[in-house]
Amino acid sequence: MNLFDASLGHPRPAVGTRLSARGSPAAFLDRDGTIIEDLGYLGDPAGIRFIPGAVGALRALQHAGFRLVLVTNQAGVARGLISEADVRRVNGRLTALLAEAGIPLDGIYYCPHHPEYGPPEYRRDCDCRKPRPGMIWQAVRDLGLDPARSVVIGDHVSDARLAQAFPGMRGILLRTGHGAEEWQKIQQGELARPEHVADDLRAAVEWFLARAGGQDVVGSHPA
């Protein structure tokens, strides 16, 4: 599994870059508010709590042939609320818990930056902070993925907007985590509606696999 330090930066793809259609399909997943409960800037692995149905949804994606890749903004590092070591500890514990459930992650990518806060090494207008696609570009290169057969899922519209950078990729907003607030803003016309909005990760995966030709049924994989 690739534990990538997004602070190293993400080179933009060259103009005219072509992605191989032979790569593996992937599910690019937010972490907090999508797979685990959003407790703010989580720095203690003991605080990990899975959202109901999330583990079963990940298992269904895996069984349907999708690589599982976490892409998470961790601006709490730039704000001085948590350290990169904290982020790695939480990610490591999450990885171990999922491995115990028979669901190995293929990669974890995080962005510790913020454009307005923090010391110079973290205060930057980077390419990796979602909705910019730097983390996905890096994962595509590292893991040999095919964006056109992939999906990005999260509890912010910025997660779903990542799909716009990759022809064929689907983007799904969840109503878990911050998603309820995001959904309210969509209804008020403050945010653009993404391709699909689902109640939670389980519902999102059911919708996606039904349209991706997946034969797996989320309900057959208990959380």
Which member of 5, 30, 86, 146 is catalytic?
30
38: annotated active-site residue = no
The string of pLDDT tens digits covering residues 24-38 is 999 999 999 999 999
**For the residues of 42-76, what is the DSSP string, one character each?**
---GGG--BPTTHHHHHHHHHHTT-EEEEEEE-TT
Which member of 32, 86, 127, 155 is catalytic?
32
Question: What pTM did the predictor assign?
Answer: 0.88
CATH domain 2-9+24-212 topology: Rossmann fold (3.40.50)
125: annotated active-site residue = no
Domains of the chain, residue spans = 2-9+24-212
The string of pLDDT tens digits covering residues 67-99 is 999 999 999 999 999 999 999 999 999 999 999
